[in-house]
Amino acid sequence: MSEKIDQDNLLKRFDSLVREIENLKRDLLRSLTVGVKHREVTPLRGRINPMNESALYVLDTHVLIWYFIGSKRLRKKLKDVIDERRGEGGGILVPTIVLAEALDIAEKQKVDFDFHGMYRLIQEEPGFEIVGFGLEIFEETLGVEEVKEIHDRIIVATAKFYGAGILTKDRIIQNSGEVETL
């Protein structure tokens, strides 16, 4: 009988520890997903208002590279929003998938630019925030139906997770209705 009680107590303690670990894991994932505390954001409605000082924006790969190389292909409106957010010290989210795509483009020499210099600047400047691809964003990716290409789906899911708009030139993302774009 005492063995049964010990097993029951052991099972209860084990269940309690599992719950505690799950809570710690969830909190850690949330804190690692962005370098600042996660904040609840009201979903955007209508077109993105670039004058909204609290708006968050996710950069897609083309916009990121074009911005850093000073390409004339980047629309002035997008450049102005990035410049404004950099000047204000926040609001530009750079998903790790975007960094991975940019690295691939640099290594394959599809565009001539200093990836490592760009990466250092993004890490050091408070206007940019690198956001990881964790379980929460993966789960958001499962609900993105209108964007089929996996890298773009992750970028869209990242924007949805943070309640952010996307600065993009990608017509599929723009026309998907999944997120607000500029």
Q: Is the pLDDT of residue 5 over 70?
A: no
Query: Minimum mean pLDDT among 11-20, 35-44, 58-67, 110-119: which range?
Result: 35-44
Q: Is residue 87 assigned to a domain? A: yes
Q: The domain containing residue 2 runs over which residues?
A: 1-33
Q: Could you read off the pLDDT of 103-148 as tens digits, one per residue?
A: 999 999 999 999 999 999 999 999 999 999 999 999 999 999 999 9
Q: Could you read off the pLDDT of 58-107 as tens digits, one per residue?
A: 999 999 999 999 999 999 999 999 999 998 888 999 999 999 999 999 99
The three state secondary structure string of 9-75 is HHHHHHHHHHHHHHHHHHHHHHHHHCCCCCCCCCCCCCCCCCCCCCCCEEECHHHHHHHHHCCCCCC
Q: Do 158 and 122 share a structural domain? A: yes
What does pTM read for this prediction? Answer: 0.72
Q: Is residue 15 assigned to a domain? A: yes
Query: Minimum mean pLDDT among 14-23, 51-60, 82-91: which range?
Result: 14-23
Distance CA 94, CA 60 (A): 8
3-state DSSP call for residue 95? strand
Domains held by the chain: number: 2
Q: Do 149 and 75 share a structural domain? A: yes
User: Residue 44 CA to chain centroid, in angstroms?
Assistant: 16
Q: Do 63 and 26 share a structural domain? A: no
Give the model's pLDDT for residue 123. 93
Radius of gyration of the chain, Cα coordinates, nearest whole angstrom: 20
